[in-house]
Chains A and B, each alone.
Chain A
Amino acid sequence: MNNSFFERRYIIAAIFITFMVILLGRLFYIQLVDDRYLYFANNNVIRKKVLFPARGPILDRKGKILVQNEPVYDLMVIPKQVQPFDTLEFCKLIGIDMEGFHKRFEKARGHSVYLASIFEKQMSVSLYRSLQEKLSDFPGFYGQLRSVRSYPDSAAAQFLGYTGEVRDKDIEKSGGYYRLGDYIGITGVEKAYEDVLRGQRGVENQMVDSRNVPKGRYANGAYDTAAVAGERLISSLDLKIQKLGEKLMRNKVGSIVAIEPSTGEILAFVSSPTYDPNQMVGRERGNNMARMYQDPYNPLLIRPIQAYYPPGSSFKPLDGLIALQEGIINPQTTFFCPHYYMAGNHRVGCEHFDGPTNLSKGIAMSCNTYFCNVFDRLINRNGPKRTRQTFIDWKAKVNKFGFGVKLDVDLPNEKKGNVPAPERYDKIFGENRWRSSSIISLAIGQGELLATPLQLANIECTIANRGFYYRPHLIKAIGDKQITKKEYTERNFVGVDEQYFEPVIDGMQQVVEHGTAVGARIPGIVMCGKTGTVQNPHGKNHSIFVAFAPRDTPKIAIAVVVENAGFGSSWAAPIASYMVEEYLRDTITKPKAQVEYIMNANLLPPPKGSKVKEAKQTKADSLKKAKADSAEKPQPVLKSVKRKAKKQPSAVYYANQPAVRRDDEQ
């Protein structure tokens, strides 16, 4: 028996046990303690595929579609699966050249050989149909359905805005929600309501093997989430008058804003010149965009909320209202109009000669003398020494009407207009060295006073409501749910009592009945309005008309601005009257030829930089003027205004700043 070392069995057994326990310990650590490995394993095998929800459509107030989604196809390629094929025919089918083909193919290969890359973006359904039949000849290529925005009526481009691929900045700001290649609202409603429109993305967990070949769904889809489509937005817009407005404003620069006074809902939001929103979609988007950036008339500017105009005579009712509230005048107060007004040694001309003029008449005839007197009394009511303080008080009152402040409409990049601050005059005239006569041009809505068309329309709402307005807004319902934002139902009182409105409204009614805008009269509808002809140092005067109707149960308030068109009565007023009648009656009773004449008129100013004189106005213009039998003539320009205008031409008239330019687009 050679068995003298039998006790060594225990040592050997102990060694075996020790090592096995070490293995178990290690397994315990990597399987139970360290959970990185599960994460790595999932990373290896799970490819999260994002399911894009359909973007919410936008409808008008009557349920007509303004924007919806249209299917397009992205042509995808998996380079590994591509076999030799007739490249020339293929190029012809999708409309690219050989060079473009190779460029795209190399780009796809650079991305991944096994994974799909986009070969050609956003092919229309019809193009894809013709390609589809032959797609089996081109292994490795396939179409992927996605949706883009489509605008059946091509209307309200600036209101709707457009979408585009996200920029790095957006991705950063969203905290990782957006990923490269996602679409996001860039302007207009698309931007303002991005959170609602975009919906909720879904995720599909796909499994792949070590060579990235798909192997079906992970856990039978237990962790997948479906995409939730974006909410439908009901806008307050009335597509019918919106389209009419766009037609009327064709070949003109300017805008139309119509608001329902009883709700603050914006009925028309015309910015002209406009563009077909469909141009912002599809394969030609880049080119179209570039063209629009170069367009001297800047169609991308959202004029209703971004363009500045002096309100001109359309400001006069405000003078009256504030003066009445302050007790400076009463409806019967008369001033004698000698055809001019002397502010210090400046002569402010007046186009008519009516002698004694009271408030209603002053408004009806747009009497400069009357309102200069009113303004002078208003600013001097605490004595000339306290002009500055009184002016600050006046500015606050004007601000209450929504002038010089943002109305917080539900669109991005709204501008606030301008009511000059006293500091401005301190600078020009020296501190406390200015008096009411120095700033008398404010009385007639000129000078440094600047407003957006939306603000002009909003003032009409205020007058129509006799003293308050609802915050103007463009979206009235999200999904099936009415927007019940508190601020949309709150009355914003402007600080003028109801009783003071009637005399002013009387005057405004007379404007249309037999005053400066008699051409805008609509038989059977009592419309109250006010014309404005705004001096433009760059060219022909801007034509402005503001109105609301009917007088007693106002359904619509409107502001129309036509740049470089001349008198308010000749262009803006008829356009407003057609809009109002169309809205209230669904028809226009005026002769068709008249309407078409306006539609077809080309009032585009010569592009900036061109030497063409604006004297080339058409004969039709004067003809029209005669027809409108308006008495309003261009108002003489105050010398101070003229001087200032010369000094700082950039400060006035209309905002030429381009829409916020995106640097990734050319």
Chain B
Amino acid sequence: MSSNERGFFRNIDWITILLYLCLCTIGWFNIHAAVYDEEHRSMVDLSTNYGKQFVFIAVSLVMAMVILLLDYRFFSALAPPFYIVTVLLLILVLVVGRNVGGNQAWISLGGGFRLQPSEFAKLSTVLLLAKYLSGTNVKITDTESFFITAGIIILPMALIMLQPDTGSTLVFFSLIFVLYREGLSPYFLIIIALSATLFILSLLVNQWLLVAGIAVIGALLVFFNLRNRKFIFGLLVWIVGSLGFVLAVKPLYSNVLQSHQRARIDELLGITFDPRGAGYNVNQSKIAIGSGQLWGKGYLQGTQTKYSFVPEQSTDFIFCTVGEEWGFVGSSVVIGLYLFLLLRVIQIAERQHMAFSRIYGYGVASIIFFHVLINIAMTIGLMPVIGIPLPFISYGGSSLISFTSLLFILLKLDSNRTGYTY
């Protein structure tokens, strides 16, 4: 504990903290711009979103302090109970939760504040995943370990799916990067990429044409590799799998997905064009960002956001304000900050001696990456509308505090990277 006696700022990665503070500040200013009106000029007016966000930032900083003050072994030790509590909360929210916008995702805390357990589920899942995978004799390539790992991830996913909160559910898929880093076969990544491609293609192209195409390509590959029996066998499995997937897409698409989700995907792929209905949000969001041009319209000058053409402007669509008021330059800065942060987190993860810390670090990177990618891609019409926040920038206490915790636990682990092994 000598390190703590010398001050808990020892060995802290200041670069990450700086990036974190930059993003929080950008978030706060943009929330201000998004909901700005003449009546509430003060930046800390508690009746407005930016006033509340100020409180959330303060709470997050306190939270960060607390985390830095705790012993590094605390997180590893508490991962299982924390995970159990989160799962219980996820069950509880299904019973007593408040329904906001079709999702039963919030537990009211009184005073206008409320808790979103799914935000904390990400953190606890990553912690437990790190704890489990760093255990001795656990190898992701073993069948038993693989299924336990899968179970850890799928349990909270299933509970969140029941709310139903598709966006938060999908976030857990990002943990594939963690598993990959820890030795999962790269085929899983390839399968995901291939599935995504085939999914889009089978919605856009006649499915029998697609089946024929796959068959022809498969036949050619087989023909030119007749000597290599092992390869042919593997190839046949892939081809049959692809064909099955392609044929399954249509029925799955129309039966499993909800109609508004289908509408958003159809709109994105250009199958339908309805800028006043299903496509309204994305269309207005693209208009907001696109009209920012190089330098943007200037702080508080965005007309799309200020005059409420863009919905959910302080939460999921906060990037519209960035794009509209700060233009390509501001957008690039924000994306640059995120990329810098992600690479820094990977670097931090890789310099850990403890497997727990490293795995945890990759978990942090994966989750942040997934949020940033999906959120921004959604606002510029590259992804269907999925309601997940932009880390550190979107309005929301639960999301900010959980992302802060996620990041600062890594920093705490990192500050103890030397001298101890696990």
Contacts of A32 in B (CB 8 A): 293-294, 328
Question: What separation, in Å, do the CA atoms of A36 and B275 have in the docked complex?
Answer: 15
The smallest beta-carbon distance between B135 and chain A, in angstroms, is 10
Q: A38-B290, A210-B309 are in contact. Are A27 and B304 (CB under 8 A)?
A: no
Question: What separation, in Å, do the CA atoms of A12 and B181 have in the docked complex?
Answer: 8
Query: Quick one: which of A1-28 are within 8 Å of B by CB?
Result: 1-6, 8-9, 11-13, 15-17, 19-20, 22-24, 26-28
Contact B177–A22 (Cβ < 8 Å): no
Specify the chain B residue showing the minimal Cβ separation from A38.
B291
Contact A9–B308 (Cβ < 8 Å): no
Contact B293–A28 (Cβ < 8 Å): no
Contact A8–B180 (Cβ < 8 Å): yes
Q: A16-B339, A16-B343, A40-B287 are in contact. Are A6 and B328 (CB under 8 A)?
A: no
Contacts of A226 in B (CB 8 A): none
Contact A2–B339 (Cβ < 8 Å): no
Name B residues whose Cβ lies closer than 8 Å to a Cβ of A: 134, 177, 180-183, 284, 286-294, 303-304, 306-309, 323-324, 327-328, 331-332, 335, 338-339, 342-343, 346, 349-350, 355, 358, 362, 365, 369, 372-373, 376-377, 380-382
Interface string of A131-171 (1 = CB under 8 A from B): 00000000000000000000000000000000000000000
Question: What separation, in Å, do the CA atoms of A26 and B286 have in the docked complex?
Answer: 11
Name A residues whose Cβ lies closer than 8 Å to a Cβ of B: 1-6, 8-9, 11-13, 15-17, 19-20, 22-24, 26-28, 30-32, 34-38, 40-42, 44-45, 207-211, 215
The smallest beta-carbon distance between B142 and chain A, in angstroms, is 13
Contact of B303 among A12, A19, A41 (CB under 8 A): A41
Question: What separation, in Å, do the CA atoms of A318 and B350 have in the docked complex?
Answer: 115
Question: What separation, in Å, do the CA atoms of A211 and B355 have in the docked complex?
Answer: 55
Contact A20–B182 (Cβ < 8 Å): no
Contact B134–A2 (Cβ < 8 Å): yes
Contact of B328 among A9, A31, A210 (CB under 8 A): A31
Contact A3–B287 (Cβ < 8 Å): no
Q: Is the interface of A mostly helix, strand, loop or mixed?
A: helix
Question: What separation, in Å, do the CA atoms of A1 and B293 have in the docked complex?
Answer: 50
Contact of A208 among B181, B307, B328, B377 (CB under 8 A): B307
Specify the chain A residue showing the minimal Cβ separation from B295.
A31
Contacts of B309 in A (CB 8 A): 44-45, 209-210
Contact A12–B373 (Cβ < 8 Å): no
Residue contacts A-B, CB under 8 angstroms, 15 given:
A4-B183, A8-B181, A9-B349, A12-B181, A13-B346, A17-B339, A17-B343, A19-B373, A23-B376, A24-B331, A27-B335, A30-B289, A31-B293, A40-B287, A44-B304
Specify the chain B residue showing the minimal Cβ separation from A45.
B303
Contacts of A17 in B (CB 8 A): 339, 343
Specify the chain A residue showing the minimal Cβ separation from B343.
A13
Question: What separation, in Å, do the CA atoms of A508 and B338 have in the docked complex?
Answer: 103
Contacts of A27 in B (CB 8 A): 289, 323, 328, 331-332, 335, 380
The smallest beta-carbon distance between A286 and chain B, in angstroms, is 39
Contact B290–A23 (Cβ < 8 Å): no
Contacts of A207 in B (CB 8 A): 303, 307
Contact B335–A31 (Cβ < 8 Å): no
Contacts of B328 in A (CB 8 A): 27-28, 31-32
Contact A30–B286 (Cβ < 8 Å): yes
Contacts of B338 in A (CB 8 A): 20
Question: What separation, in Å, do the CA atoms of A3 and B139 have in the docked complex?
Answer: 11
Specify the chain A residue showing the minimal Cβ separation from B421.
A1
Contacts of B332 in A (CB 8 A): 24, 27
Question: What separation, in Å, do the CA atoms of A44 and B349 have in the docked complex?
Answer: 47
Q: A8-B180, A31-B292, A38-B291 are in contact. Are A210 and B355 (CB under 8 A)?
A: no
The smallest beta-carbon distance between B38 and chain A, in angstroms, is 10
Residue from the set A1, A20, A36 with the largest chain B CB neighbour count within 10 Å: A20
Contact of B339 among A20, A30, A34, A41 (CB under 8 A): A20
Contact A44–B181 (Cβ < 8 Å): no
Known A30-B381, A31-B290; 14 more pairs at CB < 8 Å:
A3-B358, A13-B346, A17-B339, A22-B377, A23-B335, A23-B373, A23-B377, A26-B381, A30-B289, A32-B328, A42-B291, A44-B304, A209-B306, A210-B309
Contact A209–B290 (Cβ < 8 Å): no
Q: A3-B358, A31-B293, A31-B294 are in contact. Are A24 and B335 (CB under 8 A)?
A: yes
The smallest beta-carbon distance between B182 and chain A, in angstroms, is 7
Contacts of B288 in A (CB 8 A): 41
Specify the chain B residue showing the minimal Cβ separation from A33.
B290
Specify the chain B residue showing the minimal Cβ separation from A209.
B307
Contact of B331 among A2, A13, A31, A42 (CB under 8 A): A31
Specify the chain A residue showing the minimal Cβ separation from B303.
A45
Contact B327–A31 (Cβ < 8 Å): yes
What 5 pairs across the A-B complex have the smallest Cβ distances?
A37-B290, A41-B291, A209-B307, A30-B290, A45-B303
The smallest beta-carbon distance between A220 and chain B, in angstroms, is 11
Contact of A12 among B180, B289, B304, B377 (CB under 8 A): B180
Contacts of A23 in B (CB 8 A): 335, 373, 376-377, 380, 382
Specify the chain B residue showing the minimal Cβ separation from A40.
B287
Contacts of B381 in A (CB 8 A): 26, 30
The smallest beta-carbon distance between B327 and chain A, in angstroms, is 6
Question: What separation, in Å, do the CA atoms of A580 and B58 have in the docked complex?
Answer: 96
Contacts of B339 in A (CB 8 A): 16-17, 20
Question: What separation, in Å, do the CA atoms of A36 and B293 have in the docked complex?
Answer: 11
Question: What separation, in Å, do the CA atoms of A6 and B182 have in the docked complex?
Answer: 9
Question: What separation, in Å, do the CA atoms of A30 and B292 have in the docked complex?
Answer: 9
Contact B290–A36 (Cβ < 8 Å): yes
Contacts of B343 in A (CB 8 A): 13, 16-17
Contacts of B349 in A (CB 8 A): 9
Contact B307–A5 (Cβ < 8 Å): no
Q: A5-B182, A23-B377, A41-B291 are in contact. Are A31 and B323 (CB under 8 A)?
A: yes
Contact A209–B308 (Cβ < 8 Å): yes
Contacts of B294 in A (CB 8 A): 31-32
Question: What separation, in Å, do the CA atoms of A209 and B313 have in the docked complex?
Answer: 14
Contact B327–A37 (Cβ < 8 Å): no
Q: A2-B134, A9-B350, A23-B373 are in contact. Are A41 and B287 (CB under 8 A)?
A: yes
